[in-house]
Structure 1
Amino acid sequence: MRRRSVTRAVIGFAAVLVLVVVALWPVYVRPRTDPPATADAILVLGGARDGREQLGLRLAAAGYAPRVLFSDPYEYSATMNRICHGGYRFEVICFDPSPRTTRGEGRELARRARAEGWRRVIVVTFTPHVSRARYVLGKCWDGELLFADPEPDLSIARWAYDYVYQSAGYTKAVFEDC
């Protein structure tokens, strides 16, 4: 009898897990991204070194925007130091968001966009973060946000971590304003 209960519990847990993964697949694994278009700026959100910095630089070099803003919440990063002090034919602006979260990045975006009269910004982040970043930044600024990602190759363990992490971040964001 006990064995049957354990088996049912395991099957029930597995079924719920499959449902959660399937339901959140379009949110974290295949989020809506946008084709690049000319914009007032490109905003590269902070995070793991997954190709987003290079994508932001490539988009600017291709002429999609005259400036790239890099969120730089790191104590020290050789990559960010090189980017923030490199010589580019477009403007590079590095900032430390406050707080050091997507919310802080949204606040900085809104502040600069209002001051400069921006209407469209390309946002670069990584795949599991796109949907949540769209939600959070949209709470901070009502301009047009186009999202791009470098489509990183993540392990199953990393995908599982990001499902949990991004879900917790979404839950927190629902209760916060910008």
Structure 2
Amino acid sequence: MARAWERTLLRVGIAVLLCTFLWLFVAAQLFVFVPQGHPGKVDAVIVLGGRSDERLPAGMKLQESTGAPMLVLSKTGLLGNVEADMLCDTRSNPSSSFECFTAVPLNTRGEAEAISELVRVHGWKHIAVVTSKYHVTRSGELLRQCTVADVTMVYSEPSLGVLGWAWRLVVESAGTVDVMMRPECDSPR
């Protein structure tokens, strides 16, 4: 009897190990080895909220390299978005080449809705959206669900250790499943 139990336990252990390796392989393809977008002419460069220490410089550089007439920042009021929020708060005169928005709700789904409205109001046809590498798959899917504009996702390179990457793989895996099972927009606006 003990031998049968040991064999079952071994099989379960092997199955768990194989599933873990399969998940790691798929997660790496979706969140680590994502292709870098290279937009040509765009109507706006939009920087998603969070990790603005890495995303904002990438967005500004992208605006300069593409000649985009508009830089749009997500203003969150959260600790990880201090640089972008300060830029939004300290600009002395509103500029037609710079705009900030606050998503409601304050998450990626809310940002996708807000960006959809900005695309509609401004009549943008092609936008480049900057976010962290691990966030490209999920945020790109949400944006494509919500807007009629052509969306090019461009990533900034996060500085995460092994534990940071492990956590992001878990969070982004769950979030991506949620986006696929519960689409934000039934049809682009």
| TM-score tier after normalising by the smaller chain length | 0.7 to 0.9
Counterpart-to-counterpart distance in 2, 1:176 and 1:96:
21
Candidates 4, 12, 16, aligned match of 2:15: 12
Counterpart-to-counterpart distance in 2, 1:86 and 1:103:
27
Number of the residue aligned with 1:109: 115
Supply the RMSD in Å over aligned alpha carbons. 2.3
> Unpaired runs of 5+ in structure 2?
none
What SS does structure 2 have at the residue aligned with 1:93?
strand
Candidates 47, 72, 93, aligned match of 1:44: 47
Q: How many residue pairs end up in the alignment?
A: 178
The TM-score normalised by the length of structure 2 is 0.82
Number of the residue aligned with 1:33: 36
Question: CA distance change for structure 1 residues 131 and 18 in 2, over 3 Å: closer, same or farther?
Answer: same
Instruction: Please tell me whether Structure 1 or Structure 2 has the larger radius of gyration of its CA atoms.
Output: 2
Q: Answer yes or no: is the 8 Å Cα contact 1:41–1:67 preserved in 2.
A: yes
Question: CA distance change for structure 1 residues 33 and 142 in 2, over 3 Å: closer, same or farther?
Answer: farther
Question: CA distance change for structure 1 residues 78 and 106 in 2, over 3 Å: closer, same or farther?
Answer: closer
Amino acid at match of 1:167: S
The alpha carbon displacement at 1:86 in A equals 4.3
Number of the residue aligned with 1:133: 139
The alpha carbon displacement at 1:5 in A equals 4.2
The TM-score normalised by the length of structure 1 is 0.87
What SS does structure 2 have at the residue aligned with 1:125?
strand
Question: CA distance change for structure 1 residues 73 and 173 in 2, over 3 Å: closer, same or farther?
Answer: same
Identity percentage of aligned residues: 27
The alpha carbon displacement at 1:50 in A equals 4.9
Q: 26-35 or 82-91, which moves further after superposition? A: 82-91
Is 2:176 the partner of 1:176? no
Question: CA distance change for structure 1 residues 5 and 129 in 2, over 3 Å: closer, same or farther?
Answer: same
Counterpart-to-counterpart distance in 2, 1:39 and 1:87:
26
The alpha carbon displacement at 1:32 in A equals 2.7
Q: Answer yes or no: is the 8 Å Cα contact 1:50–1:126 preserved in 2.
A: no
Counterpart-to-counterpart distance in 1, 2:34 and 2:82:
30
Number of the residue aligned with 1:152: 158
The alpha carbon displacement at 1:20 in A equals 1.0
Amino acid at match of 2:144: G
